[in-house]
Amino acid sequence: MTSPLGRLRPEHPPVRRVDDLAAAFDLEVAGAAAPGRTFTGVTMSSTDVEPGDLFVAVPGLKVHGARFAADAAARGAVAVLTDADGADLVPADVPVLLTPDPRALAGPVAAWALDDPGARLVTLGVTGTNGKTTTTYFVDAALRAHHARTAVLGTVELRIGDDAVESPRTTVEAPVLQSLLALAHQRGAGALTTEVSSHALALGRVRGLRFDVVGFTNLQRDHLDFHGDMEGYFRDKARLFAPEQARRGVVVVDDDWGRRLADESPIPVETVSTHVGAPQAADATWAVTEADIGLDGVGSRFVLRGPDGARHEAHSPLPGLVNVSNAALAVVLARAAGVPLDTAIDAVAGARAIPGRMERVVERGDGWPLCLVDYAHTPDALVLALEAVRPITPGRLVLVFGSDGDRDRGKRPIMGQVGARLADVLVVTDENPRSEDPASIRAAILAGVRDVRPDLADVHEATSRAQAIRDALRLAGPDDTVIVTGKGHEPTQEIAGVFHRYNDRDVYLAARTEGREQLA
C-alpha cells in the first residue's frame, strides 16, 4: 500500500520520456532499451511507487536501494536511476540510467520531471539547531496574511492550505519535496515554507530547489553523531546559503556561528540581532532594542529596529527570549519574501499555537498547575525553555525530561546539569531509547544532575514516560509549572525498534480528565 506521503502528488503531472531525461542529464542508459518509454513521477521509496514512476535507487547505510528495484518494477516503475553498484541489482528487463551519485541527482531530476514547480511559488527555507519549527509557523502566519493559500512543511506536519498529514522527518526526500511543491501550486498556494535540517542538506534533499529566501536561527550542540564535530555541523548548515540553493538570506547573529555565516555567505544576507544591548546589534541590519520577556504570562513584547533606524513595535505569541528571536527572524524573512512589514508584524503576533512548542495544554487554575509541552531536546534549547517559563511561574518549576538513544551521548550529562540548575523538581525518564538500554541513558543524565545536586534533592526517576508526567502532576501545586521536554509534537515513542503511539499532550489531557485525586 502506498503511504500517505506517497499519495501527495499533483494530478495530471507532465509525461516525460526516459531518453529525454538521459539526454538532459547526460546519463548512460544500461539494461533494457528505453526508446519511447515514458514516466510521470519520481520516487526514492519502492513502497511508494506508482505505475509510470522512475525509481531512484541510492546506496544506504546497510543495503543498496537497488535491492528493491524488482519490487519497484512489480509496482509499475518503468526505469531505475542508480549508480554502477546498483545497476547490477536491477532486473534485466528494466532500463537503468547511470550516475555516480543518484542521491545528488534525485532532486534535480524530480524538478525537471515536474517542470520546476518551485519556480512558480515564493519559497522559504529555515535552518538552525533550535527554533526551525516555531520560525516556519510564524513565517507561514505572515505569508497567509498576504497570500490566499500557503504550504508549510517540517517536523510536525506537511500542510497545504488546511489539508495536512503527519511528517515523517524534518525535511522530506527530494522527490517528495518536488511533488509537494507541484501539488501546492496546483492547489493555488502562493508561497511555501519548509524546515531544512542539517541531515537534509548533507544528503541533498533540497537539491533541485533554489529558495527565494533562507533563514538561519542558531547553531548549538546536536547531531554530532552524524556530523562528527561542530565544524562539520556548521559546514552542512551553510550549504543552504550556496548560490545554487538560495537567492538571499537572513541570519540571526546572536552566536559566533551566525556571525561567521553572515561574514562568509556567498549570497546577500540581512542580519538580525535579538539580544538587547549586544555588541553585534550596532552593525546588524535589524536589531531587537527592547524586550519585555513573558510579562503577560503568554508572549513577549519587543521593539525591532530596522535598517533605516525606524522602531517597530512587535510581539511574540510565545514566552521567552528564544521566541523573541524566532518572531524577529520570521518578520524579517516574511518581509524579504514580499510581505509588507506591518502585515508581517501583526500576523506573527497573532500566530496560532504551534504543536509541541511551548504548547499550553492545561491552564493554571482549579487546583491545576500550568502544563506545557516543548520540543527542547538539546542543552541550549533546554536552557532557553526553562528560562522562558521561569518568569511566568509563581511557584516551582517541575521538569520532565530525558534524552534520545542512538544519538549524541555526550549531551546527556549536560542535559542533567541544565535541568538541575534551572528547574526545582526533576523527573528523569525516557525519550526515544531506540536500540539502547533506557536505564543507561537515564543514568548518564542523572550523573550530570549529581554534579549540581549531589544529594539528588527533588529528583525522581520514572521508567514510563506517561508515569513520569503523572508523577510530576502529583508533585506540583497550583502555583507551579510542569514542563515536559524532548518529544514535543511527536506522535510515537521508539523503544527497541518498535514505534508505540504516544504523545505527551494526550497524557496531560487524560490526567486532567481523571482529576487530581486520581494522581495521589
Q: Closest by alpha carbon to 44, among 18, 80, 16, 15?
A: 80
Q: Is 133 annotated as a binding residue?
A: yes
Cα separation, 62 vs 507, whole angstroms: 36
Sign of the dihedral defined by the CA atoms of residues 490, 231, 108, 144, in that order: positive
Q: Is 127 annotated as a binding residue?
A: no
C-alpha grid cell, residue 242? 550556496
Q: Is 171 annotated as a binding residue?
A: yes
Q: Is 515 annotated as a binding residue?
A: no
Q: Whose grid coordinates read 550516475? A: 99
Q: Closest by alpha carbon to 191, among 148, 249, 134, 156?
A: 148
269-299 residues labelled b (16+ CB within 10 A) or e (exposed): bbbbbbbbeeebbeebbbbbeebebbeeeeb
Q: Is 128 annotated as a binding residue?
A: yes
Q: List strand residue ranges (DSSP E) for 45-100, in order.
A: 53-56, 79-82, 95-98
Phi, then psi, of 96 in degrees rounded to 5: -125, 130
Cα separation, 188 vs 437, whole angstroms: 48
- Which distant-in-sequence residues (6+ apart) come within 8 Å of 87 by Cβ? 30, 31, 66, 96, 98
Cα separation, 98 vs 88, whole angstroms: 11
Q: Is 129 annotated as a binding residue?
A: yes
The string of DSSP codes covering 282-301 is GTSSEEEEEEE-STTSS-EE
Cα separation, 127 vs 133, whole angstroms: 9
In whole angstroms, how far apart are CA 364 and each of 401, 445, 504? 21, 29, 18
In whole angstroms, how far apart are CA 263 and each of 251, 260, 324, 485? 10, 5, 23, 34
| Helices 379-389 and 321-336: angle between axes, nearest 10 degrees | 110
Q: Is 130 annotated as a binding residue?
A: yes
Q: Is 357 annotated as a binding residue?
A: no
Q: Is 46 annotated as a binding residue?
A: yes
Q: Is 47 annotated as a binding residue?
A: no
Q: Closest by alpha carbon to 135, among 190, 225, 213?
A: 213
Query: Of all helices (H) and strands (E), which one includes residue 166?
Result: strand 163-166
| Helices 411-422 and 438-452: angle between axes, nearest 10 degrees | 50
Cα separation, 171 vs 184, whole angstroms: 16
Specify whether the CB–CB gap between 204 and 104 falls below 8 A. Answer: yes
In whole angstroms, how far apart are CA 225 and each of 233, 405, 421, 447? 10, 11, 26, 21
Query: Of all helices (H) and strands (E), which one includes residue 162?
Result: none
Specify whether the CB–CB gap between 217 and 326 falls below 8 A. Answer: yes
| Helices 321-336 and 341-349: angle between axes, nearest 10 degrees | 140
Q: What's the longest Cα–Cα distance across the chain? A: 75
Residues annotated within a binding site: 46, 128-134, 170-171, 197, 205
Residues annotated within a binding site for ATP: 128-134
